[in-house]
């Protein structure tokens, strides 16, 4: 069954305290100016698979909150909102997250933003695998930032993140492709 939700006054779907959920080919739509119109909010849940569809909302496409694990998202079109957000303060521990084969555009300068708490191990095991976010307008320069975490990059990641304070960046594969995209010399692991 195909589900479509239009113009929800708040988030469209909430998944709370669930053990296993599958969402296939969903369409969620809200105006880009609409606040608090998350597509899917997930909390205290283990095992969610979102497979295909379109989420076009003014806020987060998918919000993954505390107590959630084993969340997989495949073949989903998100926009114009904020994309996928993980975690909210009090501090949420985020680990073993891979963003893979993500291609799109950004109208703002912050194409990728990975912001972690200063508390010990708030984020660990973050991987960007073949992620390519380009500006929608040539006058906008896109950038990626990460704070208080370690990020592993596999393949071409554009724009490559600048991590602070002492994050570890690893270029695991495809040095030649990465160098061609960024016009930089081959990279080494940096500590």
The DSSP symbol for 9 reads: S
Alpha-carbon distance of 179 to 135, in angstroms, equals 19
Alpha-carbon distance of 26 to 23, in angstroms, equals 7
Catalytic annotation, pick one of 82, 93, 147, 177:
82
Check: CB of residue 171 under 8 Å from CB of residue 158: no
Is 74 annotated in the active site? no
Is 19 annotated in the active site? no
Instruction: Tell me the C-alpha to C-alpha distance, in Å, between residue 131 and each of 68, 104, 152.
Output: 23, 9, 12
Catalytic annotation, pick one of 38, 59, 60, 130:
59
Instruction: Tell me the C-alpha to C-alpha distance, in Å, between residue 141 and each of 6, 85, 101, 108, 168.
Output: 33, 22, 21, 8, 24
Check: CB of residue 12 under 8 Å from CB of residue 30: yes
The closest of 62, 68, 74 to 95, measured between CA atoms, is 68
- Note the residue count of the chain: 191
Alpha-carbon distance of 81 to 71, in angstroms, equals 20
By annotation, the residues acting in catalysis are 59, 82
């Amino acid at each position: 069954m195909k589900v479509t939700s239009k113009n929800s006054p708040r988030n469209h779907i909430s998944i709370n305290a669930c053990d296993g959920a599958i969402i296939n080919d969903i369409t969620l739509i809200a105006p880009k100016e609409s606040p608090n119109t998350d597509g899917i909010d997930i909390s205290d849940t283990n095992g969610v698979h979102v497979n295909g569809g379109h989420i076009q909302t003014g806020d987060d496409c998918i919000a993954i909150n505390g107590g959630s694990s084993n969340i997989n998202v495949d073949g989903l079109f998100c926009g114009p909102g904020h994309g996928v957000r993980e975690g909210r303060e009090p501090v949420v521990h985020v680990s073993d997250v891979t963003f893979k084969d993500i291609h799109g555009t950004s109208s703002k300068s912050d194409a990728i933003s990975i912001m972690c708490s200063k508390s010990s191990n708030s984020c660990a095991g973050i991987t960007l695998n073949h992620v390519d976010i380009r500006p929608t307008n040539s006058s906008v320069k896109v950038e990626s930032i990460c704070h208080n975490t370690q990020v592993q990059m596999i393949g071409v990641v554009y724009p490559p993140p600048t991590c602070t304070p002492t994050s570890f960046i690893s270029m695991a594969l495809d040095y030649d492709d990465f160098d061609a995209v960024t016009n930089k010399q081959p990279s080494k692991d940096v500590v």
